[in-house]
């Protein structure tokens, strides 16, 4: 091949390669972060503090609904998350206004546009006065949380 043709070919390959690199969409989604304020479809809001080095966190939960007869108050939560771009996590809410507790387990997903969603499943355990009422003490459900802040 003539030196000029070779030079042109190399230039085309170089420019073509450069263009392909700059226009390719990222294939890996961004990282999902639990820290912040979230709202679910029941109107419940929760705030999660910064995570420590082992992925443990604390926060507060203001539920939009209650199975109790008591006025709703903000309650504390503690939990932990695993490592990863779309991490699994779990947390417990010790309700301050009833004698129940709820455990949530879920995963933090992030879309290609960067929108974060927490998909969770929960168990709400109420205190029943007698062993014979144990059968009705636990409710199960799912909640989806979107980031507020
Ligand atoms: C209680 O009623 O004793 C305490 C409040 C429970 C609220 C539940 S927990 C699962 C579901 N998700 C919410 O955000 N609120 C309800």
Give the model's confidence band at 29: pLDDT under 50 very low, under 70 low, under 90 confident, else very high.
low
Quote the pLDDT of residue 33: 96
Nearest atom in ligand 1 to the alpha carbon of residue 95 is 4
Question: For residue range 67-105, what is the model confidence (pLDDT) as tens digits?
Answer: 999 999 999 999 999 999 999 999 999 999 999 999 999
CB 32 within 8 A of CB 25: no
Nearest atom in ligand 1 to the alpha carbon of residue 40 is 14
Tell the CATH topology of 27-147. Answer: Lipocalin (2.40.128)
Cα(63) to centroid of ligand 1, in Å? 6
Q: Residue ranges per domain, the chain?
A: 27-147
């Amino acid at each position: 091949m003539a030196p000029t043709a070779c030079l042109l070919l190399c230039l085309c390959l170089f420019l073509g390669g450069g263009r392909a690199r700059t226009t390719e969409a990222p294939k890996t989604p961004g990282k999902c972060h639990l820290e912040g304020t979230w709202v679910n479809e029941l109107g419940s809001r929760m705030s999660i503090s910064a995570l420590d080095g082992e992925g443990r966190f604390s926060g507060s939960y203001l539920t939009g609904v209650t199975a109790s007869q008591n006025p709703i108050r903000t309650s504390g939560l503690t939990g932990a998350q695993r490592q990863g771009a779309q991490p699994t996590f779990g947390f417990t809410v010790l309700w301050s206004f009833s004698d129940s507790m709820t455990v949530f387990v879920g995963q933090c997903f992030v879309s290609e546009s960067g929108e974060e969603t927490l998909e969770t499943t929960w168990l709400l355990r109420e205190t029943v006065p007698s062993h014979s009422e144990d059968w009705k003490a636990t409710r199960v459900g799912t909640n989806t949380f979107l980031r507020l802040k």
